[in-house]
Amino acid sequence: MQSDKKNADDLCECLKEPQINILLIYPQFPDTFWSFNPAVSFIGEKAAFSPLGLLTVAALLPEEWSKRLVDEKVERLTDADNGRYLLKE
């Protein structure tokens, strides 16, 4: 009886839509006059601008999707990001 319920639960899990993982990457731009890097370090911040465009896109995606935003001026991509969010063939 218990194994029938477990099999039914497993079947229901298989019929669900697959988990969709979205990785949004805001790239680090090269140091130029317009990158504001000297000013940013002077005021003790890591970045001059927030990635508002990517945050807006993330807000428009379905709520049940798993989303992660990486701002490369603040943090680097990790191997966990590569394994979870990038397609494997």
Q: Which two tokens stand for residue 37?
A: 């890097």
> Which pLDDT belongs to residue 63?
92
Average pLDDT over residues 26-55: 76
Ramachandran angles phi, psi of 29, nearest 5°: -90, 155
More confident residue, 3 or 49: 49
Model confidence pTM above 0.85: no
What pLDDT score was predicted for residue 32? Answer: 74
